[in-house]
Chain A
Amino acid sequence: MEIRVENCDRKHFLETTTRNRVSKMAGLFGSQNIVLSGKVFVGPTCVIRGDLAHVRVGKYSMIRDGTILRPSLKHFNKGVAFVPLTIGEHCLIEENVVVSAAQIGSFVNIGKNAVIGKRAVIKECAVILPDAVLAPDTVVPPFAIFGGAPARPVGKVPDNHQEAITELTTTFYQNTKVEDFGKGK
Chain B
Amino acid sequence: MKGKDITAKKRFEKCTLYDVERVLYKNGSVAKPLCRLLYCRFCNDLRYYNSDLIQVEVDSHYCMHALDNVPTTEAIMKKNRSRSYWQCPACPSVLTQKQSWVIEENPEKPEEPFQRKTHYMQCPFCHWSTRDLGIPDAPTAGSWPEKENLNQSRINELYEYTKQLSLQQASLSKSKASRKITKVAGKIGGFSPMLLNYSMRDDGSAKKKPIELDNPKTRTLEELDDLPEEYLSEDGLDFWKTTSLKQRFDQPEYQPELTKDLYPRRLTMGVKRSLRCRQCDHNLLKPEFSPSSIKFKMHLIATSFIPEIRLFKPSAFSTDSLSANVFLTVTNPTHSPMNIILLPFCEEENEESYRFPKITGKIMLPADSYEIPAKDTLLDYSCLTKTTENLQPSEDGKIVLPQPNKIAFNCTYQSDGVESSEGAADKWVALRIKHDTLDQKQQSIWISHVVFIKISS
Interface, chain A (partner B; CB < 8 A): 1-3, 5, 7, 107, 109, 111, 117, 123-125, 127, 129-130, 133, 135-139, 141-145, 147-148, 150-156, 158-160, 162-165, 167-168, 170-171, 174-175, 177, 180, 183-184
Contacts and interface: CB of A to CB of B under 8 A. Distances in A.
A147 B310 contact: no
A127 B12 CA distance: 9
B311 A150 contact: no
B9 A155 contact: yes
A159 B124 contact: no
B313 A171 contact: no
A145 B386 contact: no
B151 interface: no
Interface in B86-132: 91-94, 96, 123-126
Nearest to B124: A136
Sort chain B's interface into a size bin: 35 or more
A3 B1 contact: no
8 contacts: A5-B386, A135-B123, A145-B9, A151-B92, A154-B4, A154-B9, A155-B1, A174-B383
A108 B299 CA distance: 20
A150 B65 contact: no
B249 interface: no
B5 interface: yes
B314 interface: yes
Contact of A155 (B4, B35, B94, B285): B4
Given A148-B8, A158-B35, A162-B294, A5 B384 contact: yes
Nearest to A184: B386
Contacts of B124: 117, 135-138
A104 to B, nearest CB: 14
Given A1-B19, A142-B292, A147-B12, 14 more contacts: A1-B313, A124-B294, A135-B123, A137-B96, A138-B94, A141-B67, A141-B270, A142-B291, A143-B294, A145-B9, A150-B91, A164-B303, A175-B384, A177-B383
A15 to B, nearest CB: 16
B17 A147 contact: no
A160 B296 CA distance: 11
Interface string B176-219: 00000000000000000000000000000000000000000000
Contact of A159 (B19, B93, B296): B296
B94 A137 contact: yes
Interface of B: 1-5, 8-9, 11-12, 15-20, 22, 33, 35-36, 62, 64-67, 91-94, 96, 123-126, 270, 285, 291-294, 296, 299, 301, 303-304, 310-314, 329, 380-384, 386
A147 B301 contact: no
B2 A145 contact: no
Contacts of B35: 158-160, 164
Contacts of A163: 303-304
B64 A141 contact: yes
A33 to B, nearest CB: 26
B18 A3 contact: yes
Contacts of A153: 1-3, 64
Given A147-B5, A153-B3, A127 B125 contact: no
A127 B16 contact: yes
Instruction: Enumerate the 8 nearest inter-chain pairs by beta-carbon distance, A residue then B residue, closest first.
Output: A152-B92, A135-B125, A158-B35, A174-B383, A135-B93, A136-B124, A154-B8, A147-B8
Contacts of A141: 62, 64, 67, 270, 291-292
A151 B263 CA distance: 20
A119 to B, nearest CB: 9
Nearest to B291: A141
B102 to A, nearest CB: 16
Contacts of A145: 8-9, 12
Nearest to A150: B125
